[in-house]
Amino acid sequence: MSNTFDRIFAELVPNEGKCDTVAGEMIRSAGRLQYDFYNNGMGNNTSGALKFLREKSAIDKELFECVLPYTTGRLYEGKYENDFFHVAIDRIVEMTTKMVTFNPQLMVMENAEDMFDYSDEDLDETCQECSGYGYDDYEDEDCYMCGGTGIT
């Protein structure tokens, strides 16, 4: 599946900016999630990419809910060795590739949206206990870095 994803990405995703086709923007979104996971530990805001894929029904609710807490700056601290989150990211790429492949009309359907239009705000609240950006609004406002509750 990776070869198909790479081929479609090369064909439909420009060097910068939104894609001309819906399929291109979907592939661009999946690629952004995959790149940020493998290269930045999910340290960047990828919420728009994930929400765009969910809006287009490329991914299911389970994958969406698994990845969502890591899309606004919460770092992934797993082992990258086929744990659940690692598999979820790879599954997003696979599901998106299959959707585009099995729905070729998406390859020519004009795209008017940018995945970044779906983005949430970055995490910007700091923890008084560890001074880190560890606020997680998906888990009762505790700092995921130290477990403290001193969010400002």
pLDDT at 126: 53
For residue 72, the model assigns a pLDDT of 87
Question: pTM, whole model, 2 decimals?
Answer: 0.80
Give the H/E segment covering residue 64. helix 61-67
Q: What is the DSSP string of 79-129?
A: -SSS-HHHHHHHHHHHHHHHHHHH-GGGGTSB----GGGGPPPPP---BTT
Map tokens 């930045």 to a residue: 40
Question: What integer pLDDT is reported at residue 76 of this predicted model?
Answer: 87
Give 74-130 pLDDT, tens digit per residue: 888 888 888 889 999 999 999 999 999 999 999 999 999 999 999 987 654 555 555
User: What pLDDT sits at residue 57?
Assistant: 96
pLDDT greater than 60 at residue 58 = yes
Q: What pLDDT band is residue 4 in, cutting at 50, 70 and 90?
A: very high
For residue range 9-35, list pLDDT tens digits in order.
999 999 999 999 999 999 999 999 999
Enumerate residues 6+ apart whose C-beta is below 8 A from 123: 72, 73, 74, 133, 135, 136, 137
Output the six-digit token pair for 25: 């923007």
CB of 21 closer than 8 Å to CB of 107? yes
Higher pLDDT, 49 or 79: 49
